Amino acid sequence: MTQRPATAVIGCGYWGRNHVRTLAGLGALAAVADADAVCAGEIGAAHGVPARSVNDMLADPAISAVVLALPAEHHARLAMAALDAGKHVLVEKPVALSSADADRLTGRARQTGLVAMTGHILRYHNAFRAIAERVEAGAIGEVRHIQSHRLAFGKFHARFDALWDLAPHDLSLILSLAPDVRPSVTGISHSLTGGQTDMAHLHLSFADGPSAHVFVSRHHPYGERRFVVTGETGMLLWDDARDWPEKVTHFAHHARKSAQGTWDFALGTGEAVPVAPNMALTDELDHFLTCIETGQPSLTPVAQGAEVVRILETAQGANHHG
């Protein structure tokens, strides 16, 4: 079996541990690091790899790549350091806390020619892959609008509000389907707790392309994770709360205005789109390793992560608070 690129994980918190376990399963885990040395030692020992300092790993030519699963304020700085050390890098979202830092990171990645990828995990979910394939095949005609809802109660924490914590997931999907042009952005946010944003609406408009709307909330009485792509002749719905065989549904529709000014419209019965179960993190990390091995471009480069940061920053700066 061919040896996969030796990869270190920096950050052994909740999500970092998932990266550690998955990379170990892919035969690519080489080392771990964390601000908590005891924690890093225990996790490294559990997977048969050493716990090392960040500087030590970056200086080691045997380490080909690093995964950054850290508090977001450290992402841009350490991603830049990794690229400067000649390491390929996967950095979790958001890639930075300002568009200026995100753009600098994108520029450095371009200069080095190394793989620099954003951890937009839902791009690797088979439900989204099924949607993207059908859009590409013209199954719903030209895409006119994309709508996403990510709602639940909870995930209150000091570091991020609902906008920065939840919206990047869906923005990455929208950017993957939309034309490669910079959208105009408007936003409205609300704080129900007298603190950070608890719910937010984002509207995106792509020149000569679709519009898109994102609704996120951490103060909602029910959970909802739905993503809808509306085209000229059909709609594709991803309802992530449903079981695997029923996560994606295709609805045919038409809405036409006659010469007499009356409307003829109809919505077809939903048809389930077969979607095989997958582990999105496994596929994301395998894609990262494959890009390193083959030189193929990443599906979620840091340039996409930078555009997500710009959208969030623009919406936050221009929104109306309720």
Using 50 as the pLDDT threshold, list the residues of the chain that sit under it.
1, 320, 322
- How many Cα atoms occupy the beta-carbon half-sphere of 185 within 13 Å? 24
Q: What are the φ and ψ backbone dihedral angles of 85, each rounded to 5 degrees?
A: -85, 5
The CB-based long-range contact list for 240-247 (8 Å cut-off, 24+ gap) reads: 240/127, 244/275, 244/276, 244/277, 245/272, 245/274, 245/275, 246/272, 247/127, 247/275
- pLDDT confidence of residue 319: 54
- pLDDT confidence of residue 18: 98
Task: Locate 196 and state its tokens.
Answer: 């950070």
What's the gap between Cα 146 and its chain centre? 16
Task: Locate 208 and state its tokens.
Answer: 């000569």
- pLDDT confidence of residue 1: 47
Q: What are the φ and ψ backbone dihedral angles of 224, each rounded to 5 degrees?
A: -150, 130
- CA angle, residues 272, 135, 169, in degrees to nearest 5: 85
pTM of the model: 0.93
Contact criterion met (CB below 8 Å) for 295 and 111: no
Cβ count near 34 (within 10 Å): 24
CA-CA distance, 304 to 93, in Å (whole number)?
10
Contact criterion met (CB below 8 Å) for 173 and 236: no
Residue 13, judged by CB atoms within 10 A of its CB (0-12, 13-18, 19+), counts as middle
CA-CA distance, 233 to 199, in Å (whole number)?
32
Contact criterion met (CB below 8 Å) for 68 and 82: yes
Amino acid at 113: G
Lookup result for tokens 């997977």: 47
Instruction: Using only the alpha carbons of the chain, give its radius of gyration.
Output: 21
Q: Which of 307, 153, 135 is nearest to 232 (CA)?
A: 135
- pLDDT confidence of residue 317: 74
- pLDDT confidence of residue 268: 80
- CA angle, residues 226, 227, 232, in degrees to nearest 5: 135
Non-local (6+) Cβ contacts of 117 within 8 A are 89, 90, 91, 287, 288, 291, 298, 300, 301, 302
CA-CA distance, 243 to 39, in Å (whole number)?
35
Non-local (6+) Cβ contacts of 58 within 8 A are 66, 81, 82, 85, 87
- pLDDT confidence of residue 318: 56
- pLDDT confidence of residue 257: 79
Q: What are the φ and ψ backbone dihedral angles of 199, each rounded to 5 degrees?
A: -150, 150
